[in-house]
Amino acid sequence: MRDVGFWVLAVASVGFGVAVFVVNSMARATFALLASFLCVAGELPLIDLSYLGVLVVLMMIMEMLVMAVFMIMYMMNPAGLMPMSMTHNARGAAAIAGGAFVALAAGIVAVPWPERRGRPPSDPTVALGEAIMGPKMLVMMVIGVAILATMIATVVLATRRGRYDA
């Protein structure tokens, strides 16, 4: 069942990722990107990284919320729902993306990957948190809450009467 869930979420994630570049409005592209990230977050518990899955969900929801707020405030078309061209310099972008793909694929094949030493930790989330932040985990959690409060306060202070003013 885990394998089926993994492949369903993987295909959905790639599909939504493609939709980001196919749809013709900023709002639809934003929601497609959010859906792609949520599918990736849904895969993390399948590999026993539940905390990172929750973290990705919370981060992506906040990031997309901020993106939607700025899209509504500053775009000329209402909420980014009117059709617009979402591609600029398609040939150049395709060339850069193709070159990046070839370089990354060559790196995957050419790098001598090390053999595993030891056994995986009993709780990979705790091991990852300690490897990244060490004893500063509590500080980073407090800073995260402070950053969230700052983002909410900034949006509240920036919108006095709403989008249309008086």
Cβ atoms 143, 67 nearer than 8 A:
no
Domain count, the chain: 1
In 111-136, where does DSSP find H-type helix?
124-133
Residue 20 lies in a domain: yes
Domain that holds residue 38: 2-85+122-158
What pTM, to 2 d.p., does this model score?
0.56
Residue 165 lies in a domain: no
Q: Which two tokens stand for residue 11?
A: 């295909």
Residue 103 lies in a domain: no
Whether the pLDDT of residue 165 is over 70: the answer is no
Q: Summarize the confidence of residues 144-165 as an average pLDDT.
A: 76
Q: Quote the pLDDT of residue 41.
A: 92
Q: Quote the pLDDT of residue 87.
A: 66
Cβ atoms 17, 36 nearer than 8 A:
yes
Residue 153 lies in a domain: yes
Q: Which residues lie below 8 Å from residue 82, measured CB to CB, with a gap of 6+?
A: 25
Residue 56 lies in a domain: yes
Per-residue confidence band for 36, with pLDDT thresholds at 50, 70 and 90: very high
Residue 95 lies in a domain: no
Q: Summarize the confidence of residues 87-98 as an average pLDDT.
A: 86
Residue 102 lies in a domain: no
Question: Pick from 37, 31, 32, 30: which is nearest to 54 by CA?
Answer: 37
